Structure 1
């Protein structure tokens, strides 16, 4: 089928009218989305049911383990297809939302790669999502520009921008504003389909794409689906098979047990795996939610240098290098503190230590969230990794047993940690409902994963009646009533800080309700943003 002859499948119904929509949602693009949804939508639904069935088994007492039926893949001697030239050196990658000015700053940051994030760093209002896709068109055409009316500053993409990788939304998400046969289409297919349809051939012609990050996969069956999507889409738009290259974020606990299998399913299209550590911590809590033995301490004590996180990172490097692809490190979320050189140097020292740990383990690159952190991370990798990557340095001496991927961090749960989780989750969710997905909180650039960790920990501590060390001495068990009291105290603090008008404009009351419902639910909800998405759509 040629690119100019869309399928006879009925086009999706678009429920909203927004500026620039006709440039993005062209009849041809909508026809392509209809093809993707018709062909793969039912499969995605079945995969989500499979997630629920696996979670029910774990809730009932089973623990994650390596799959016996895929032992030959794990033990086999094979490699994925070669990594393209544009992705050979990925030593520092910057991430951020698909907001226009932030995209330009990221592309000009000096990082090797920019991940344009339609997922956790973008609040998925239809206005935000369509604006992001419009920005992708301008990036394709070399017209991505911004003139700030408030400051008078002009922003233009420089002569040597970072390579762009797109992260579509996860398979569990729906795009509620576009319906096919009366049902919302897959948000993952929506974001992937539009970027490939509009930009795929132009990026392929320049040798700089199309490249993707795939979020929140939980099994090799989901990787198999994505591979079939890639094959179909490449045939449909006239690209050679294998042109698309994807990096899979290993940010769920089940996926950590299926790294080889995920690479195998995507072996013609995969460029690497990434340690999505914040979502991974959230997934650890969510997956093991019914198992009190795996309760985690304060979030500040859940660090990458020990327990299940250290084993996960080591296994990722080992598997990636054995299969000939990149092992990407995790996020440095710190942002500069204005007019505080001491705080900045303290944060930068922590980042240097974290990146030195990553490059020493064998990671081929790392993530930062702010342009000012690019030279900090770059200096570490330049000094320790003289070549473009470390793929050919084997790590086969490491033996990672299943129990090592489950070992919890030891430490205390404190009143300060409890209050911090409430404060950060409330601030983030209020900002998310206001349309911002990348939010500076306490000198860190936070995305949805932060709110998910915070509320999952609160739920876990309440569900298992964890004893909390009180600031005034003694201890107290976490209960629904106490969480409600602490939430009211935090609301009062926010009101004093920003005033009643800003409180209501910022949707704090709605955020507090959503958060309290999530942390006191009988069963831990899979995603906080799923319930919040309906509210976001109504506000949008």
Structure 2
């Protein structure tokens, strides 16, 4: 069929099962909404620049105004005067949701399907198959992700063959770790987990589709590919169609998402509200508009998720202009720290505000990144912390949380099993208020360490993550180079968010002259000394050298003269630039598939020149 869209290379002929005629028709129907998305992203960048120039902090909306993009009054949204979604049975209990993609970089179908099998056999109540932060974008990996999900949902014979094999491997691990198997009947177990899918954010563009000579919305691409390819089988099985929506910043963004969902439901002849969605609260501005976002998405919205890394990054970025706002070491910024504590509290209050039908929404807690692999002492200590973190979130009112690896499901899920309640919707919390103290609490700093060791951590993991991303591993097990070979310190499963926050805090420390709270003999730094350009350059060289010298287990040897130098160039330029880039991922996407440092340096320079000139982000695939 003919289409208004342009497709890269031979992707349509290579993926006819993904780019079906039905998918192509739906893409054409939703394609005009990309103009609104592009306008929203331009407005977002302009708003960020305006606030920085005016030294203006984010504020609450005027209660008498309409939510942009809707006919809903802000005051009505805050009062719950809207019709919220009914929570379907397969979302009522979501004690543990796992996250991860449905494929591996440059893998064949059988190998990639193992990821899906591990997920659906894990015992998680839900599994968020990721199209965004944890999914590499090299080659056709995003399309492999969709293909594998389609095969698994259809219970293709190859998937069932892989699942039986994986179930045996999982039970062998469990016998060794728990002293018992975790899967009794693998076929029955496959139907236990609710399938969720995370689309890419509005700020990203697809690498395989172009429209009118420019990039095309990755959000629209993912929405259409997942829903069109799978809605009939999911509904026939009595399962919900559930999405996670990332990186929204405002209720106006949510209204655009709602119109995209309505347009697709209308095109497919689905009742309004068939598609359900969680919204990740990972941007500071969202916390000023929580009820407004819930109302803007009200036919579809089922809950919020409180992630840590992206949210910290957004606070740092939103206050980049404020020299008085300087974060401490990243390890100190837990969910009980200052502005994070306020953030979590506002989310739980928003979820437990009833709509006009008395309906509440779900709160899914944050990510547990630990993996139980290491020394006996290291694993025991890390698992103890993981369980304690889950217990805290359960006490605070979360109906469940995330884990980043299937091995963590049976370690953390018992926290909710012991309580036994399907969810915590409707728990009594104080009503949300919208005064100056509420706004200040969302940007509240507290005394905490800021050290050379903390700077090394930021640099080491930022470099490692950038390198992993460029190799196709957008989810990677990482730890600072100083702990390579130390099995008492576990690797953490990290995704794009961990890269974003680390370069963001490094930029903040350098350009605001962050003061260290402790002395460091190795660098000759005293307490009270500032993080200077010379010190940044020295630490960058030292941490980069450690990665060059690391073993293949920690830094792949085939990356040390290819993508690792490019990752270093990106980190160095991002942190040293006087104008702060809004997204680390932009620079990584720009250099996907490259191994030529000179070409990468040209692209990095072009990005910053363009952004400094008029705020334009280069987001399209330059190798289309």
Q: Who is 1:3 aligned against? A: none
Q: Who is 1:285 aligned against? A: 316
Offset, 1:299 = 0.2
Q: Who is 2:430 aligned against? A: 396
Distance 1:409 1:164, change over 3 A: farther
Between 211-220 and 303-312, the greater mean CA deviation after superposition: 303-312
Offset from partner CA, 1:439-492 (integer Å, 9 cap, x none): 001210000100111100100000101123342151432233322221111221
Q: Who is 2:93 aligned against? A: 89
The answer to whether the Cα contact below 8 Å between 2:240 and 2:275 also exists between their aligned partners in 1 is yes
Offset, 1:208 = 1.6
Distance 1:191 1:372, change over 3 A: same
Q: Who is 1:298 aligned against? A: 329
The answer to whether the Cα contact below 8 Å between 1:466 and 1:478 also exists between their aligned partners in 2 is yes
Offset from partner CA, 1:48-82 (integer Å, 9 cap, x none): 12211221232121111221132342134555121
Offset, 1:254 = 0.4
The answer to whether the Cα contact below 8 Å between 2:477 and 2:494 also exists between their aligned partners in 1 is yes
| 1:362 partnered with 2:386 | no
The answer to whether the Cα contact below 8 Å between 2:6 and 2:210 also exists between their aligned partners in 1 is yes
Distance 1:126 1:28, change over 3 A: farther
Distance 1:282 1:16, change over 3 A: farther
Q: Who is 2:33 aligned against? A: 40
| 1:427 partnered with 2:480 | no
Secondary structure at the counterpart of residue 31 of structure 1: helix
Alignment of 1:169-248 (within 5 A): 169-248=200-279
Between 63-72 and 117-126, the greater mean CA deviation after superposition: 63-72
The answer to whether the Cα contact below 8 Å between 2:83 and 2:299 also exists between their aligned partners in 1 is no
Tell me, in whole angstroms, the C-alpha distance in 2 between the residues paired with 1:75 and 1:227: 20
Tell me, in whole angstroms, the C-alpha distance in 2 between the residues paired with 1:270 and 1:25: 28
Q: How many residues were matched structurally?
A: 530
Offset from partner CA, 1:388-445 (integer Å, 9 cap, x none): 1110222126757111111123212100000111100111110110001110012100
Q: Could you tell me the TM-score, scaled by structure 1's length?
A: 0.93
The answer to whether the Cα contact below 8 Å between 2:95 and 2:125 also exists between their aligned partners in 1 is yes
Tell me, in whole angstroms, the C-alpha distance in 2 between the residues paired with 1:66 and 1:283: 17
Offset, 1:365 = 1.0
Tell me, in whole angstroms, the C-alpha distance in 2 between the residues paired with 1:131 and 1:167: 15
Secondary structure at the counterpart of residue 353 of structure 2: helix
Tell me, in whole angstroms, the C-alpha distance in 2 between the residues paired with 1:28 and 1:21: 13
Alignment of 1:502-517 (within 5 A): 502-504=558-560, 507-517=563-573
Secondary structure at the counterpart of residue 17 of structure 2: helix
The answer to whether the Cα contact below 8 Å between 2:282 and 2:314 also exists between their aligned partners in 1 is yes
Alignment of 1:90-489 (within 5 A): 90-99=94-103, 100=112, 101-143=114-156, 144=159, 158-323=189-354, 324-338=360-374, 340-384=375-419, 386-396=420-430, 401-442=438-479, 443-468=491-516, 469-472=518-521, 474-475=526-527, 476-489=529-542
Offset, 1:210 = 1.3
Distance 1:268 1:49, change over 3 A: same
Q: Could you tell me the TM-score, scaled by structure 2's length?
A: 0.81
Tell me, in whole angstroms, the C-alpha distance in 2 between the residues paired with 1:49 and 1:97: 30
Alignment of 1:69-80 (within 5 A): 69=65, 70-78=74-82, 80=84
Tell me, in whole angstroms, the C-alpha distance in 1 between the residues paired with 2:471 and 2:160: 24
Aligned with 1:531 (options 579, 582, 587)? 587
Over aligned residues, Cα RMSD in angstroms? 2.4
The answer to whether the Cα contact below 8 Å between 2:132 and 2:198 also exists between their aligned partners in 1 is yes
Tell me, in whole angstroms, the C-alpha distance in 1 between the residues paired with 2:463 and 2:10: 29
Distance 1:145 1:491, change over 3 A: farther
Distance 1:152 1:205, change over 3 A: closer
Between 62-71 and 495-504, the greater mean CA deviation after superposition: 495-504
| 1:56 partnered with 2:49 | yes
Tell me, in whole angstroms, the C-alpha distance in 2 between the residues paired with 1:464 and 1:530: 23
Secondary structure at the counterpart of residue 422 of structure 2: coil
The answer to whether the Cα contact below 8 Å between 1:34 and 1:180 also exists between their aligned partners in 2 is no
The answer to whether the Cα contact below 8 Å between 2:305 and 2:364 also exists between their aligned partners in 1 is yes
Structure 1 unmatched runs, 5+? 1-5
Tell me, in whole angstroms, the C-alpha distance in 2 between the residues paired with 1:389 and 1:353: 19
Offset, 1:151 = 11
Offset, 1:18 = 8.4
Tell me, in whole angstroms, the C-alpha distance in 2 between the residues paired with 1:356 and 1:246: 25
The answer to whether the Cα contact below 8 Å between 1:234 and 1:241 also exists between their aligned partners in 2 is yes
Tell me, in whole angstroms, the C-alpha distance in 2 between the residues paired with 1:76 and 1:22: 45
Offset, 1:216 = 0.5
Structure 2 unmatched runs, 5+? 66-73, 104-111, 171-185, 355-359, 480-490, 596-622
